[in-house]
Amino acid sequence: LILLHPLPSLFAKENLHRMSEQQLNLYDRLINEPSNDWDIYYWATEAKPPPAEFENDVMAMLREFAKNKKKEQRLRQPDLEYLFEPPR
């Protein structure tokens, strides 16, 4: 899966290492089932409500991440090296 909007990838880089197996499964389902990752963006930013099957703790985490309380610049996908780094 190639994500067009950077939000899901940036969320993954920040959170995958601390998610439970159940949360990882929910996230995997979220990024692989919807036909359009802009849907994920709209759900995460609360522009549109997600379908009931995606209303879970991972969506809540993604919504919180989307608020960008640290005011980080999030204009591009992260480099994929983080997938091979040891957990923090």
The mean-pLDDT minimum among 17-21, 33-37, 63-67, 76-80 falls in: 76-80
State the pLDDT at residue 13. Answer: 85
Give the CA angle between residues 9, 37, 21 to the nearest 5°: 55
Is residue 34 in a domain?
Answer: yes
The rounded distance, in Å, linking the Cα atoms of 61 and 32 is: 18
29 or 83, higher pLDDT: 29
Is residue 53 in a domain?
Answer: yes
State the pLDDT at residue 83. Answer: 55
CB 19 within 8 A of CB 88: no
The rounded distance, in Å, linking the Cα atoms of 66 and 23 is: 17
pLDDT digits (tens, 9 = 90+) for 22-62: 999 999 999 888 767 788 989 999 999 999 999 999 999 99
Is residue 46 in a domain?
Answer: yes
Is residue 48 in a domain?
Answer: yes
Domain tally for the chain? 1
- Residue 2's pLDDT band, with cuts at 50, 70 and 90, is very low
| Helices and strands, counts by H and E, the chain | 4, 0
Domain that holds residue 63: 22-67
Is residue 10 in a domain?
Answer: no
Is residue 6 in a domain?
Answer: no
CB 1 within 8 A of CB 31: yes
Give the HSE-up count for residue 73: Cα atoms under 13 Å, Cβ half-sphere.
2
Is residue 45 in a domain?
Answer: yes
Mean pLDDT over the full length of the chain: 80
State the pLDDT at residue 45. Answer: 92
State the pLDDT at residue 52. Answer: 94
